[in-house]
Structure 1
Amino acid sequence: MDLSAVQTALADKSYSALAPLCDDILLQAASRGATTDEWPYAVHLLAHLYLNDLNSARFFWKSLPQEVKDARPELAAVWRIGQCLWNRDYAGVYTAAQGFEWGTDLADFITSFLESYRKRIFQLLTSAYSTIIVADVAHFMGMSEEDATNYAVQNGWSLDAATNMLTVKKPKAQTNQKLDASKLQRLTECVFHLEH
């Protein structure tokens, strides 16, 4: 089985391309009856988690034979991350990811996954809260309170040290709509005709 495209995507850090690539190669191998002993199961599962495609990740996990799951500790470690994502155990995602000694194929991928996940969680916090306790931000972001505070302040939030609360800076709504005078004139004429 030729895994050079997967290795190239990993080397190029093209992580968002890995899930569809792995899906295609695995389907082609299955259609030819090729053995999948060398298949990078952990990379494939993590690729779905990286895209936040939990349904595909769960389906992939359930489709694997039990002996594959039992024989590959790295695969089981990736699945623990997936379970935390599925159960919305935000702090558990970081614990699961940082609590395993990843091989060279996955170490950079895990780091990139955590950065992407942290940004996604920060965006969720930004949209959900106007103020939030530092301890909660630290919990959701998998950081110490000091690091979480620094991260939030660097992204425009402000800290009230007396209450240990962060005030969220909401992104400005973008309004790119321009008023076209000719359209306004036509609308005015149309309304005038309707009224008279």
Structure 2
Amino acid sequence: MMLPTETAEEIRAKYTEMQIELENLEIERGAADEVPADSVTSELYLQLMAIYLIQNDLPNAKFVWKRAPDNIRKSASLSGMHRVFLALWSRDFPATYTALNGTNWTPSVQPLIADLRSLTVLRARSLLSNSYADVSQEDFCLLMGVPMSTEGVAEACAELGWTLNGGRVIPAKPAPPTEQPLMSEAHLAKLAEFISFLEC
């Protein structure tokens, strides 16, 4: 299965600058009277939509799809990205994995797709470990994108540090986050901010 080595925040942070550049490029190209239907424009929409999906900004991903010219929307890659969007929008993990694996992605977007798949696995892991005491092997495979085999489930459970017992997967509960105590000046600043908010 190979769990992602980066956290969700680290993955998302990698694309902040690229997102800004692509948004600016789209604005510049949109200022032209007619948007050219070249491969650069197609890649622009494809990468921008992928980045919005990575950032979990589904409304903006939807608007990228709506803004894209019809001839670009018909491309296999952008149609595939739209299928990924629809699966994420409906929170359908199996359909998300199917859409991610079922499209022949262009080389420029393959790293984004790999990171999007990693984020989907991280989201599913968080959902399972925080919400379930145990889950069936079938549901585990569907939610985590693991091949439906006893060996695949056993390998994934070992990698996650989870237990496989009698056809059921028992997720390990995540460690509770440690809260940093606020310093006294921070307490006063927060209290002053709260009081000034109430006075308004």
Please report the TM-score for the alignment, with normalisation by the length of structure 2.
0.72
Q: Deviations over 1:149-173 (max 9, x none)?
A: 422332221111xx21111211121
Query: How many corresponding residue pairs?
Result: 165
Aligned mates of 1:177, 1:106 — CA distance in 2: 39
Q: What's 2:130 paired with?
A: 127
- Cα distance, 1:60–1:176 mapped onto 2, change above 3 Å: closer
- Cα distance, 1:177–1:30 mapped onto 2, change above 3 Å: closer
- 1:45 equivalent in alignment to 2:18: no
Aligned mates of 2:180, 2:23 — CA distance in 1: 41
Q: What's 2:162 paired with?
A: 157
- 1:22 equivalent in alignment to 2:22: yes
Q: Deviations over 1:76-133 (max 9, x none)?
A: 1111111111122211111111112222112232122212211121111111111111
* Superposition deviation, residue 36 in structure 1: 4.4
Which structure is higher in RCO with an 8 Å CA cutoff and minimum separation 6?
Answer: 2
Which one of the candidate residues 101, 113, 127 is aligned to 1:98? 101
Which one of the candidate residues 61, 75, 79 is aligned to 2:65? 61
Q: What's 2:197 paired with?
A: none
User: What is the correspondence of 1:134-149 to structure 2 with a 5 Å cutoff?
Assistant: 134-145=137-148, 146-149=151-154
Aligned mates of 1:141, 1:105 — CA distance in 2: 25
* Superposition deviation, residue 32 in structure 1: 5.5
- Is the contact between residue 45 and residue 78 of structure 1 (CA under 8 Å) also seen in structure 2? yes
* Superposition deviation, residue 16 in structure 1: 4.7
- Cα distance, 1:45–1:175 mapped onto 2, change above 3 Å: closer
Aligned mates of 2:143, 2:17 — CA distance in 1: 27
Q: Show structure 2 runs of 5+ residues with no match.
A: 1-12, 184-200
Q: Deviations over 1:26-62 (max 9, x none)?
A: 1233236574432222111111111111111011111
- Is the contact between residue 93 and residue 120 of structure 2 (CA under 8 Å) also seen in structure 1? no
Q: Show structure 1 runs of 5+ residues with no match.
A: 1-12, 181-196
* Residue identity (%): 23
Matched residue type, 1:152: C
- Cα distance, 1:134–1:16 mapped onto 2, change above 3 Å: farther
Superposed CA RMSD: 2.5
Matched residue type, 2:152: D
